[in-house]
Amino acid sequence: MIVQLKLNTSEEKVQELIKRIKDKGLDTTYVVGDNHSILGVLGDTSRINIDELEAQEYVEKVIRIQEPYKKANRAFHPEDTIIDVNGIKIGGGNIVVMAGPCSVESREQIISVAKDVKKAGAQILRGGAYKPRTSPYAFQGLELEGLELLKEARKETGMPIVTEIMSSDLVDRFVEDVDIIQVGARNMQNFDLLKKLGKIDKPILLKRGMSATIEELLMSAEYIMAGGNHKVILCERGIRTFETYTRNTLDISAIPVLKKLTHLPIIVDPSHATGKYWLVDPLSKASLAAGADGLIIEVHNDPACALCDGPQSLKPKKFDKLMDELRILSKALNVRL
C-alpha cells in the first residue's frame, strides 16, 4: 500500500503516522521527493482502515497494491481448491453439473426431474425450497416441505442436493439437511448471513450479485472464509447491463479473471444469466471453454406450467442432449466430466 502525503506535511505528523502503522505490526518505508512524499506500507494491509487513513488531513491519497481479499487470493494459495461433496470433486479440472428445477413444486415433479437429470449425467440436484421472488404475490416456494421433498429425491437418486438459504435463522436446519448451501445473488452481500455461514463446515455456493463487481464477489467469499469455512464455490450468473434482450448478461470474462485471481472453483449458471432456454446450450459450452469448473442448469419436466422460471428451463430431453455434447467438449478441453 502506498500513502501519498500532502506537500509540507510536518515531520511530526509523518512520524505519528509511521508509529500508528507499525503498532499494527506492519513495516514502512518513507520516501521524500521534491513534489511529493510517500509512505510505503508493507505486510498484511487488511488490518489498515483505508477510509481512516484517507480522512487524515495530511494524506493526499492511498493506493492499494495488493487485493483486499487474502484467503480467497490465488497469490497466497496457488493450487486450485477442490471441494469434496459426498465423493464428488468440484474444482481442479473436475467438471460438475448441478441440475434440477428452479423450485421444488411437488414430490412427483422433483423426483421425476431428479431421475431424469441423473440419467443424463448431472451429479448434483438443484431445487429451490425458499424462493427470492421480485413480487410478494408470486410463488414463494414450498419452504420446509420443499426441503423434505429434496431429501426424498436425494434418497431416491443418491444425488447430493443444493438449495438456497434466505435467512440466517435457517443455518442449522440447512447444515443438517443439505449438501451445498446456496447463497443467491440477492443475498451476496447479506454480511450477517455470510458470517454465520463462515462458522459452519458445509460447502457454500456463492452467487454473484446482479450488480456486483468481481472484487465484491471475492470479498463476500472472504467473509465466509474469514470465519473458517474455506469451502466456497463461486457462481457467475449474469449481471445487470443496459442489454434487455436477455434477463442478465453472462460475464464470460469473469471466468478466466476469477481463475487468475482466486483458487476457488467457479461454476456458471447459464439459466439465470439469459432467461431463455435456447441460450443455455451455447452458453454452457462457452462457459466450459472459458475454464468454468461446472454449471448449474434449470431443468423442468413441464416448463410451460413451471411455477418459476419456465422460460429458461430445459426439458429433460434437451438437457440429455446437452450433456452428451458437453462430454465431447470436455474431452477436447482435457477436463473430466
Kindly list the residues in this chain that would bind Mn ion in the complex (CB under 5 A): 102, 309
Report the residue closest to ligand PEP, judged by CB. 184
Is the Cβ of residue 48 or residue 219 nearer to ligand PEP in the bound state? Answer: 219
Sheet of strand 2-5, all strands in order from the earlier edge strand to the far edge = 27-32, 37-42, 2-5, 59-63
Strand 232-236 versus strand 83-85 pairing type: unpaired
| Under 8 Å between Cβ of 103 and 141 | yes
- Specify the residue, 97 or 102, whose C-beta has the smaller distance to Mn ion: 102
Q: Which does 184 bind (CB under 5 to 8 A by kind): ligand PEP, Mn ion, none?
A: ligand PEP
Q: Which residue's CB is nearer to ligand PEP, number 146 or number 184?
A: 184
Q: Is 263 in the site for ligand PEP (CB under 6 A)?
A: no
Q: Least Å distance between CB 210 and ligand PEP?
A: 7
Per CB under 6 A, 303 contacts ligand PEP? no
Q: From CA 288, how far away is CA 323, in angstroms rounded?
A: 12
Applying CB under 6 A, does 207 fall inside the site for ligand PEP? yes
Type of residue found at 336 = R
Q: Judged by CB, which is closer to ligand PEP: 53, or 188? A: 188
How many chain residues interact with ligand PEP (CB under 6 A)?
Answer: 11
Q: Are strands 96-100 and 88-90 parallel, antiparallel or unpaired?
A: unpaired
- Beta strands 180-183 and 204-207, pairing class: parallel
Task: Give the 3-state secondary structure of 194-243.
Answer: HHHHHCCCCCEEEECCCCCCHHHHHHHHHHHHHCCCCCEEEEECCECCCC
For residue 11, give every residue at least 6 positions away whose Cβ sits within 8 Å of its Cβ, in sequence order, or none. Answer: none
* CA separation for the pair 106, 128 (Å, rounded): 12
What DSSP element (H or E) covers 32?
A: strand 27-32
Asked if 146 is part of the footprint of ligand PEP (rule: CB under 6 A), the reply reads no
CB of 9 to ligand PEP, least distance (A): 48
Cβ nearer to ligand PEP, comparing 269 with 293: 269
Residue nearest to Mn ion (CB): 102
Instruction: Work out how close the CB of 98 gets to Mn ion at its nearest, in angstroms, rounded to a whole number.
Output: 12
Among 128, 141, 265, 316, binds ligand PEP (CB under 6 A): 128
Site string for ligand PEP, 90-119 (x = CB under 6 A): ------------x-----------------
Which SS3 state, helix, strand or coil, does residue 280 take? helix
Shortest CB 167 distance to ligand PEP, Å: 15
Choose, by CB under 6 A, the member of 196, 247, 272, 300 that binds ligand PEP: 272
Whole-Å CA distances, 167 to 76, 189, 194: 32, 13, 10
Residue 179 binding partner per list ligand PEP, Mn ion, none, with a CB distance cut-off of 5 to 8 Å that depends on partner kind:
none
Q: How far is the CB of 126 from Mn ion (least distance, A)?
A: 9
Instruction: Check: CB of residue 311 under 8 Å from CB of residue 277.
Output: yes
Q: Does 184 bind ligand PEP (CB under 6 A)?
A: yes
300 binds ligand PEP (CB under 6 A): no
- Listed in sequence order, the residues at least 6 apart from 127 whose beta carbon sits closer than 8 Å to its beta carbon are 100, 101, 102, 103, 104, 110, 113, 146, 149, 150, 153, 161, 163
Under rule CB under 6 A, residue 237 binds ligand PEP = yes
Please report how close the Cβ of residue 222 comes to ligand PEP at its closest, in angstroms. Answer: 19
The CA–CA distances, whole Å, from 323 to 46, 129, 159, 249, 336 equal 43, 25, 17, 23, 13
Binding site for ligand PEP (CB under 6 A): 102, 128, 132, 164, 184-186, 207, 237, 269, 272
